[in-house]
Amino acid sequence: MWHFISEHISDETQQFFSCQKAERVSGGDTHESYIIKDTTHRYFVKTRKYDDTQQLSHEAEGLAAIANTQTIATPRVICHGITANETPNMEYLVLSHVRFIEPTENDYFILGQQLAALHAVNAYTSYGWPHDNYIGASVQTNGRMASWADFFAEKRIGSMLERLASIGTWKSGDGNIDDIVTRVRHLLSLHQPHPSLLHGDLWAGNAGFNKKGPVLFDPAVYVGDAETDLAMAELFGGFPQSFFEGYHQHTPIEKNYRLRKPIYQLYHILNHGLLFGAHYITQAKQIIDDIYTH
């Protein structure tokens, strides 16, 4: 495998590379991660058994989309592919190796400003993404829609509830899916935000820092309301106040964000329910009860 990947790296970089050491590192539930190196270069590599989903190709696409905005750094995509003549064949993604450092409060402030700059890019006219991709191990349903309320209600909340129902985690007594989708659509019906390129899975573990500044990775990109990234950033903690101060110095907080925040967080809680079970379903039901009182 490493010989095959080394040749691909050499072809893409136009610099000879031959893996002399592959060090397994932690990270990721759906893949294995390595740092590979020779005497001159080192790269970060993700591998997984090849299947039709090609999850790592979606990650490569998301990283490239963010990098192309030139607003915030990501690991550079070196190459993506599928090994040949292996048993089994492996899908792989090779990224530039990032040497992370311990961040300061000012580093987080800059991260907030750069995230706001990413969200401000004016390149999209509709919401969604051309095809489904992944948020962690879960399929993220996409397609493109003109209405933000329709997209979020149907493609985020509705699709996740339907997936939970299909495996028996969401039961008929937990709430009628069509009614919940209708309620979410109604609550967002007057909100047609700027279509922003989103990281999509913005918790503290998916942001880091090197000597040059912030670096985002493991995205679940789509085009939508910038507030969804902020809601996710608030949901599981890990970001200091300086991050939000940096963001809002660039882009002031919008009216009624606090009302929309739990709706946006619901998507991620439902996804955690899909992955980890009952505790998150209880939390999701409480949010749904609350949004019916709005």
The C-alpha atoms of residue 54 and residue 81 are separated, in whole angstroms, by 9
Residue reference for tokens 């040749």: 7
By three-state DSSP, how is residue 267 classified? helix
What letter represents residue 229's amino acid? D
Exposure on the CB side of residue 84, measured as CA atoms within 13 A: 3
Q: SS3 for 31?
A: coil
201 in active site: yes
Q: Which of 107, 150, 201, 225 is catalytic?
A: 201
First to last CA, the chain: 55
Q: Region of 293 please: left (phi>0), alpha (psi -120 to 50) or beta.
A: alpha
Largest alpha-carbon pair distance within the chain?
Answer: 62
Question: What DSSP string describes 113-131?
Answer: HHHHHHHH----SSEEESS
Residue-by-residue DSSP string for 101-112: -PPPHHHHHHHH
- CB half-sphere exposure, 210, CA atoms < 13 A: 12
The whole-angstrom separation of Cα 149 and Cα 182 is 10
**Distance separating alpha carbons of residues 45 and 8, to the nearest angstrom:** 12
Q: Which two tokens stand for residue 175?
A: 């709430």
For 98-133, give one letter per residue: b (16+ CB within 10 A) or e. beeeebeeebbbbbbbbbbbbbebeebeebbbeebb
> So which residues are the catalytic ones?
201
